[in-house]
Amino acid sequence: MGSTTEGQLMKKNTFALTEAERTELGVFLNRGGTPPWLRRRVQSVLAMDSGPYGLSWSDRQVSEAYGPTARTCESWRKAIKEGGVKSVLSRKVPAKPRRAKTLTGEGQARLTALACSEPPEGHVRWTLKLLASRLVSLDVVESISDETVRRELKKTNLSLGK
């Protein structure tokens, strides 16, 4: 193994952009309406390019200049190597929601009907905690927070104060 300085370390997954790819990326930078996240990503990719017209910057240099982490830069390099430049020009949409919805359509309907009904005896009006506990006692849901109840009622423009 030869001696190398920190700036000369070999980068994994280096890539060289074609002239057409560089032109396509330039269009993203020059047109109006390009979202800032896409602009920074394109600038980062152009800086990482190790082709004849690229800057061949290290992940650390790109990170300092444009903001993505070094790990992100490495994953972009790998994605470009495997799937081409277009593979990093869009954000990935998660395949499934991060968390299942607490209330489905039927549960939302039950909540709305409950909120529009008379409050329990001893109460002047429904509170979020009362609604949440009633939904649980009616076996509409296994558990629910009063914040979730608030968000669901807000979607229906239902005001408990009127």
- Per-residue pLDDT tens digits for 78-122: 999 998 999 999 888 878 777 878 888 999 999 999 999 999 999
Domain stop point among 88, 120, 138: 88
The pLDDT of residue 128: 95
Q: Is residue 3 part of a domain?
A: no
Q: In the chain, what's the furthest Cα-to-Cα distance? A: 83
At residue 32 the predicted structure's pLDDT band, cuts being 50, 70 and 90, is: confident
Q: Is residue 1 part of a domain?
A: no
Q: Is residue 41 part of a domain?
A: yes
Q: Is residue 57 part of a domain?
A: yes
Domain housing 142: 105-155
At residue 6 the predicted structure's pLDDT band, cuts being 50, 70 and 90, is: very low
pLDDT digits (tens, 9 = 90+) for 48-68: 999 998 999 999 999 999 999
For the entire predicted model, the pTM comes to 0.56
Structurally, the chain folds into a number of domains equal to: 2
